[in-house]
Amino acid sequence: AAVALAVGVVQGTAGAGESGGAGDTTSGTSQADLVAAGEQLFLTSCISCHGVDGVGTPNGPPLTAAGEANADFMLRTGRMPMASSDVQPPDKPVAYTDTEIRQLVAYVGSLGDGPPIPQLDLDAADVTNGGQLFRANCAPCHNASGIGGALSYGRHAPSLQETGLEQVAEAMRVGPGQMPRFGPDVLTDQEVNDIVAYVDYLQNPDDPGGLNLGYTGPVAEGFVALVIGLGALMLVIRWITRERRAAGAREGAPDA
């Protein structure tokens, strides 16, 4: 199967956001050639679940309104092909090459009028505004630090720490799985850009306090000092006591 609208959540590989989408013809391949090659790949890899012309089957949803963003997200995060549509698809190694993904994305995009792959410009982003929007719209599920969290019915919102930035934007536009869809009427392109810039900050934060403690969340420095310091002190005491006992045993031992 190539892509699915009904399943999936944001999680992908860290480098996926750097790859071009279906409209990227910088390699010299025309859009028409991408679509034609994508159709052939679709017929051999995806038709059994998504049907002829992407109209869908009992095993997979229709793709006629999926759009390039949905296809690119599902393929670049490794959620497609999917073993079963009854479970939340995990992120896994990508099954297709970058060229094959661009071909499949181009073909799926030609099937109907779905959301295109968002164009990002982090240099023009407002990280502060992105942080406010993230806390209002994303943090309830993905946690304020983007490390993910539990959802109902055994589902989970994945961590964003290693998700490609382009896939973060795509997920907002397509709303995979239980994630709500943030269309242009909810978040403008600039606001999506701002949120992605904030996610980029979460993935590469400053550590003005020094040791980041693995970004496990708010932990009182006193607690860390107590646990680590007291633990180290107990080890030193144990070592000193053992050495003194060993020395006493040697002194009290009869000469040979």
Output the pLDDT for position 208. 67
Output the pLDDT for position 106. 96
> Which is nearest to 148 in space by CA: 90, 190, 94?
90
The C-alpha atoms of residue 53 and residue 249 are separated, in whole angstroms, by 85
Q: What is the pLDDT along the chain (256 residues), one digit of tens a residue?
A: 444 433 343 344 334 434 444 444 445 689 999 999 999 999 999 999 999 999 999 988 899 999 999 999 999 998 888 766 655 666 778 889 999 999 999 999 999 989 999 999 999 999 999 999 999 999 999 999 898 988 887 788 889 999 999 999 999 999 988 899 999 999 999 999 999 999 999 998 877 666 666 665 566 667 777 788 888 999 999 899 888 777 777 776 665 5
Q: Say what the pTM is.
A: 0.71
- 3 state SS of 172: helix
Distances in whole angstroms, Cα of residue 99 to Cα of each of 119, 124, 202, 244: 19, 29, 30, 69
The type of residue at 104 is L
Strand intervals (E) in the chain: 149-150, 156-157
- Four-point Cα dihedral 53, 58, 64, 68, nearest 10: -100
Output the pLDDT for position 170. 97
Kindly report the number of other CB atoms within 10 A of residue 169's CB atom. 25
Output the pLDDT for position 225. 74
Q: Which residue has the tokens 């550590």?
A: 207
Instruction: State both tokens at 240.
Output: 């000193």
Q: 51-59 — which CB contacts under 8 Å span 24+ positions?
A: 53/111, 54/108, 54/111, 54/112, 59/1, 59/85
* DSSP letter, residue 81: S
